[in-house]
Structure 1
Amino acid sequence: MQKRSQVQARTESSQADINTPSHWRTLALAAVLGSAALAGCAVVPAEPVYGYNGYGDVVSANVAPPAPYVETIPVAPFVGSVWIGGFWDWEGGRHVWRPGHYEHGRPGYAYRQPAWHQGPGGQWMLHRGGWEQGGRDGGRRR
């Protein structure tokens, strides 16, 4: 019986702490600070437009890409390798950096680097580029 009354006393004490003015002030302050922190956040889903125009896939976005990273091109790992420079891609409603890498050259093809261009109406268009048949240098970059 004594144990039960101790549990009831603790429960009543905890309930009394919840109903104090300082507890409510703390909750109100936390709510105000939480909403202030979230007020600066805006998730705006940019709906990309995909297409094809003979220059690889094309993606349209409302946001300009950041400045490209400066990449140090490493020594070619094999004969006939082609350096594919990094670029800002568009994925999940945001820009994502795709680092440069080497690929095997493709005879009769040339690699066209992805590029962003501002289109009509201020839209940014990413031409994803890729390997194109009939390249003058047979896929070898100079």
Structure 2
Amino acid sequence: MSRKSSALILSAGLALACAGFAATPAAQAAPQVSIGVGVGIGMAPPPPRFERVPPPRAGYVWAPGYWVWSPRMHRHVWMGGRWMRVRPGYRYMPARWQRGPHGRWHFNNGYWAH
């Protein structure tokens, strides 16, 4: 697979992940669903940024910020933390990066676990 097609697939995957995240209210998000970058990238994300967690809000859970890969800018971009409406009976699992077996980094979007 060429670099260009890999970048295109990565771009499309991130666009779909972001579009689904932006268009789906947290209360309606499907449980145990993780959208990840299938191709992976060769550059590890920077350490998480320090974010001062705002005071607790009744009925909400804090989703910490995370780094996303921007193929257009060829670098990681910080997405700040946010409040998400609590889903009774579910636990929020934050977004994270995992290193794959071939040294590539794969992003897993946050999701609600039952």
What is the TM-score of this pair, normalised by structure 2? Answer: 0.65
Following superposition of structure 1 onto structure 2, how do residues 30-41 of structure 1 map, counting pairs within 5 Å?
A: none
Q: Distance in 2 between matches of 1:99 and 1:71?
A: 8
Greater C-alpha Rg: 1
In percent, how many aligned pairs have the same letter? 35
Instruction: Give the partner amino acid of 1:72.
Output: R
Q: Which runs of 4+ in 1 moved over 6 A?
A: none
Q: RMSD of the TM alignment (CA)?
A: 2.6
Greater RCO, CA 8 A, separation 6+: 2
Deviations 1:22-56 (A, max 9, x none): xxxxxxxxxxxxxxxxxxxxxx8662385xxx651
Q: Which residue of 1 aligns with 2:20?
A: none
SS in 1 for 2:48: coil
Q: Report the counterpart of residue 115 of structure 1 in structure 2.
A: 96
- Would the aligned equivalents of 2:33 and 2:112 in 1 still touch at CA under 8 Å? no
Answer yes or no: is the 8 Å Cα contact 2:95–2:108 preserved in 1.
yes
Any stretches of 5+ residues in structure 1 without a counterpart?
1-43, 135-142
Residue 120 and residue 55 in structure 1: after superposition, are their counterparts in 2 closer, same or farther (change >3 A)? farther
SS in structure 1 at match of 2:102: helix
- Letter of the 1:119 counterpart: G
Q: Could you tell me how far apart the structure 2 residues matched to 1:129 and 1:56 are? A: 7
Asked if residue 65 in structure 1 is aligned to residue 45 in structure 2, the reply is yes
Distance 1:129 1:101 in 2: 12
Q: Residue 86 of structure 1 corresponds to which residue in structure 2?
A: 65
| Number of equivalenced pairs | 88
CA distance in 2, matches of 1:102, 1:129: 13
Shift of 1:74: 0.9
Q: Which residue of 2 aligns with 1:25?
A: none
Normalised by the size of structure 1, how large is the TM-score?
0.53
Q: Does structure 1 residue 56 correspond to structure 2 residue 37?
A: no
Residue identity opposite 1:66 in structure 2 = P
